[in-house]
């Protein structure tokens, strides 16, 4: 701002000089004013201007210049840096582990321990330990079999690095979650596991498998890896390696297998327990489906032409399994039952058991197993004549003996010889129960009556039967029809109370759900096909006041000095009311005695329950179940041929007076009972007590 000019009095004598001096003063004032304004502006500006340059933070969190939640978002530079640092650390760790992992010694089959089975008294039953393995060169394995294995197991085998990172990660996650770990491994990984590592399903073992597989892939040619894999893999039937498997399934060396047969062996690598077609209808269906898929897969991957594939449309039926000589007689059947129980209670597989090192303590009693076998063979020898009668040929017998107080399986008869007859008649479903099933219908009807009676009366205590007068249902009196083996009342009863009700009680008593037949009117007269073991066990429910116990065959299992978990004794469960069990038991007392031939030198003085098929059944089988306080024993007889899918008729078995074979199971039971459980002393003339039904 320009200051106003002020004319001052001037005493100078020169007016012009005075004017010049005044102008100069005005200019000085203006300059001073400008300087003052500038200083003022600078001072004002200094109140809001940022300070000089500051030091940058290495990690800008919370971030400057951001507001709210954005202050906590890292920058892309920070994220990238951390990722690179982590990747570098992982790469370094990977290299360090890779260099530190050393090749362990290959498994030495000579040092392999046997799996030993013991009788109930602790004595040794059998030692299973000889490894069935015969190594061959890759040249001795047909190209078609090699291609089938590669197509099924690892299609990019020849080009991969030896590992499947995704498979390893998935397996590790499954281990953590306690789920199955199978699947996702390359052929190299499986070879490493078979050759160098244990079968333990742990994360550490999987990690070691990963690094060893990388090393093997770097050091060995693919041909050597494939050869080792084929020689060490488990194919079931106690066979390790493709050569042993070829003999086990087709009776020829591997070099003679055709592409169809080779595809079946490749199928078994998925798990012989589930894909051996001889082990049941479900196995056969799975095997056929995968066999066909493997052939198609070879075409898909370019390993087989469509023309060659078209030649193999019929399933290459393998020969029946055989047992080693050490498992002759009943031993093979006992091992079969024990192994099934082991697998049902643990994660142990047939392959694990074949690997050896286990000590298996069973419930089987040596004297009773021998007594049961002798009883069967005695009755067969005395009553059947296959050379004379056509009907006496192809007769099979199955039997099982269970201890009622706890469900222990003490003896079985699975067939004439486990080496010659592989199928276990004592533990195989497929034989209709006939009249032996009717006591469960009777019990279900009483349970149904009690429930309705309590509902109608508005009273009743658990386990207390309500008198039939509360709600009259005349068809409920099934005692005489049970004695007479009259089918009609049982069919009517099942229809009235509902077949689902009958099935529910039968399963609760111990019969397997999968052995139950279709819910048709004949269901109530025994179209279901429970095993001898299951029927013997289920009948103990009537003796044990309505409480059922799961049958068991192994008491203890040890490996490397440590007990294997899962073998606690099964506990009893309520299957029916105690009054219902007593009523059915009383009815069974009136049944069965006419079918039993008392020993000539003594009477039978112990209580018995028995069940069997009757004369009105469509005779394809004959049953007898006798239950005492000491033992519950079921015996079945039927006819079957390996090449015939259905049971043969029993008409004429043992001659015209044998009632189509119905007399034989009671005779076997009686012969066994008199030697296995000698009766207690009784006063002369004492009437025998008993529970039973006749065949």
671 found inside a domain: yes
Q: What is residue 468's predicted lDDT score, i.e. its pLDDT? A: 41
- 618: confidence class by pLDDT, cuts 50, 70, 90: low
Tell me the pTM.
0.72
Does 519 share its domain with 644? Answer: yes
* Range of the structural domain that residue 146 is part of: 131-323
Which residues face 128 on adjacent strands?
115
464 found inside a domain: yes
CATH of the domain at 582: 3.40.710.10
Does 384 share its domain with 316? Answer: no
- The whole-chain average pLDDT of the chain stands at 80
Q: What is the mean pLDDT of residues 496-508?
A: 97
For the chain, how many structural domains are there in total?
2
5 found inside a domain: no
How far the first Cα of the chain sits from its last, in Å, is 134
- 165: confidence class by pLDDT, cuts 50, 70, 90: low
Does 312 share its domain with 392? Answer: no
Half-sphere exposure of 265 (CA within 13 A, CB side): 38
Q: What is residue 107's predicted lDDT score, i.e. its pLDDT? A: 58
Does 287 share its domain with 413? Answer: no
305 found inside a domain: yes
Helix, strand, or coil here: 474? helix
Q: What is residue 689's predicted lDDT score, i.e. its pLDDT? A: 41
121 found inside a domain: no
Q: End of a domain among 269, 301, 323?
A: 323
Does 263 share its domain with 142? Answer: yes
Does 180 share its domain with 287? Answer: yes
Q: What is residue 660's predicted lDDT score, i.e. its pLDDT? A: 72
Q: What is residue 686's predicted lDDT score, i.e. its pLDDT? A: 39
Does 318 share its domain with 368? Answer: no
Does 393 share its domain with 455? Answer: yes
Does 659 share its domain with 540? Answer: yes
Give the integer Cα–Cα distance in Å for 440 and 433: 11
* pLDDT tens-digit readout, 267-291: 999 999 899 999 888 999 999 999 9
b (16+ CB within 10 A) / e for 628-639: beebbbbbbbbb
Does 380 share its domain with 498? Answer: yes
Q: End of a domain among 297, 323, 349?
A: 323
Q: Is residue 209 pLDDT above 80, yes or no?
A: no
Lowest mean pLDDT among 404-418, 450-464, 614-628: 450-464
Q: Between the ranges 451-455, 584-588, 631-635, where is the mean pLDDT highest?
A: 631-635
CATH of the domain at 141: 1.10.3810.10
Q: Is residue 664 pLDDT above 50, yes or no?
A: yes
* pLDDT top residue among 565 and 663: 565
Q: How many whole angstroms from its chain centre is CA 447?
A: 33
189 found inside a domain: yes
Q: What is the mean pLDDT of residues 567-577?
A: 95
Does 237 share its domain with 375? Answer: no
Q: What is residue 243's predicted lDDT score, i.e. its pLDDT? A: 93
* pLDDT top residue among 112 and 543: 543
Does 539 share its domain with 466? Answer: yes
Which residues face 115 on adjacent strands?
128
Q: What is the mean pLDDT of residues 113-122?
A: 91
Q: What is residue 300's predicted lDDT score, i.e. its pLDDT? A: 95
Q: What is the mean pLDDT of residues 666-692?
A: 66
Q: End of a domain among 323, 346, 376?
A: 323
Give the integer Cα–Cα distance in Å for 249 and 210: 33
Q: Is residue 182 pLDDT above 60, yes or no?
A: no
* pLDDT tens-digit readout, 167-178: 656 655 665 555
Residues 6+ apart with CB under 8 A from 420: none
Lowest mean pLDDT among 295-304, 569-578, 606-615: 606-615
34 found inside a domain: no
* pLDDT top residue among 555 and 106: 555
């Amino acid at each position: 701002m320009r200051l106003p000019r002020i004319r001052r009095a001037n005493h100078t004598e020169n007016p012009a000089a005075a004017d010049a001096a005044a102008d100069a003063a005005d200019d000085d004032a203006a300059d001073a004013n400008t300087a003052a304004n500038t200083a003022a502006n600078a001072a004002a500006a200094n109140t809001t201007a940022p300070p000089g340059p500051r030091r940058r933070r290495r990690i800008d969190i919370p971030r400057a210049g951001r507001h709210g939640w954005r202050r906590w978002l890292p920058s892309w530079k920070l994220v990238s840096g951390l990722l690179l640092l982590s990747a570098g650390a992982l790469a370094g760790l990977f290299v360090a582990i890779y260099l530190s992992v050393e090749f362990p010694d290959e498994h030495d089959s000579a040092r392999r321990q046997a799996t030993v089975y013991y009788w109930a008294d602790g004595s040794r039953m059998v030692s299973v330990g000889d490894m069935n393995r015969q190594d061959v060169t890759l040249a001795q394995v047909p190209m078609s079999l090699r291609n089938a294995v590669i197509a099924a197991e690892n299609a990019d085998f020849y080009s991969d690095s030896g590992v499947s990172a995704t498979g390893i990660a998935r397996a590790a996650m499954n281990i953590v979650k306690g789920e199955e770990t199978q699947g996702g491994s390359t052929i190299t990984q499986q070879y490493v596991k078979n050759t160098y590592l244990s079968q333990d399903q742990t994360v550490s073992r999987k990690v070691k498998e990963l690094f060893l597989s990388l090393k093997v892939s770097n050091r060995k040619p693919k041909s050597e890896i494939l050869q080792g894999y084929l020689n060490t893999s488990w194919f079931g039937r106690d066979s390790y390696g493709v050569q042993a498997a070829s003999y086990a399934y087709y009776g020829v060396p591997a070099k003679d297998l055709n592409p169809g047969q080779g595809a079946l062996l490749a199928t078994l690598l998925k798990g012989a327990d589930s894909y051996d077609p001889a082990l049941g209808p479900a196995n056969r269906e799975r095997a056929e489906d995968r066999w066909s898929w493997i052939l198609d897969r070879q075409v898909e991957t370019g390993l087989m032409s469509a023309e060659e594939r078209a030649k193999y449309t019929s399933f290459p039926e393998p020969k029946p399994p055989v047992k080693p000589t050490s498992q002759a007689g009943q031993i093979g059947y006992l091992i079969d039952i024990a192994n099934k129980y082991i697998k049902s209670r643990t994660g142990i597989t047939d392959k694990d058991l074949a690997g050896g090192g286990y000590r298996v303590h069973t419930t089987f009693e040596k004297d009773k197993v021998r007594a049961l076998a002798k009883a069967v063979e005695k009755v067969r020898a005395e009553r059947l004549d296959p050379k004379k009668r056509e009907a006496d040929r192809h007769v099979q017998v199955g039997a099982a003996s269970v201890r009622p107080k706890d469900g222990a399986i003490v003896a079985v008869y699975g067939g004439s010889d486990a080496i010659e007859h592989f199928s276990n008649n004592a533990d195989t479903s497929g034989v209709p129960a006939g009249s032996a099933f009717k006591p469960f219908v009777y019990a279900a009807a009483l349970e149904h009556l009690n429930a309705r009676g309590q509902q109608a009366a508005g009273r009743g205590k658990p386990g207390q039967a309500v008198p039939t007068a509360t709600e009259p249902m005349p068809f409920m009196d099934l005692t005489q029809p049970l004695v007479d083996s009259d089918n009609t009342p049982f069919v009517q009863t099942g229809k009235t109370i509902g077949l689902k009700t009958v099935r529910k009680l039968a399963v609760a008593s111990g019969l397997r759900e999968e052995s139950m037949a279709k819910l048709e009117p004949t269901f109530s007269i025994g179209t279901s096909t429970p095993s001898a073991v299951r029927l013997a066990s289920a009948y103990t429910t009537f003796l044990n006041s309505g409480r059922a116990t799961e049958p068991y065959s192994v008491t203890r299992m040890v490996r490397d000095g440590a007990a294997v978990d899962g073998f606690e004794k099964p506990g009893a469960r309520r299957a029916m009311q105690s009054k219902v069990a007593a009523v059915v038991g009383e009815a069974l007392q009136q049944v069965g005695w006419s079918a039993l031939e008392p020993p000539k030198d003594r009477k039978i003085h112990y209580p018995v329950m028995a069940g069997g098929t009757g004369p009105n059944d469509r005779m394809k089988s004959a049953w007898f179940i006798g239950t005492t306080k000491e033992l519950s024993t079921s015996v079945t007889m039927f006819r079957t041929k390996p090449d015939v899918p259905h049971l043969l008729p029993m008409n004429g078995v043992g001659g015209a007076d044998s009632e189509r074979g119905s007399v034989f199971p009671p005779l076997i039971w009686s012969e066994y009972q008199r030697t296995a459980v000698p009766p207690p002393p009784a006063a002369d003339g004492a009437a025998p007590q008993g529970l039973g039904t006749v065949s």
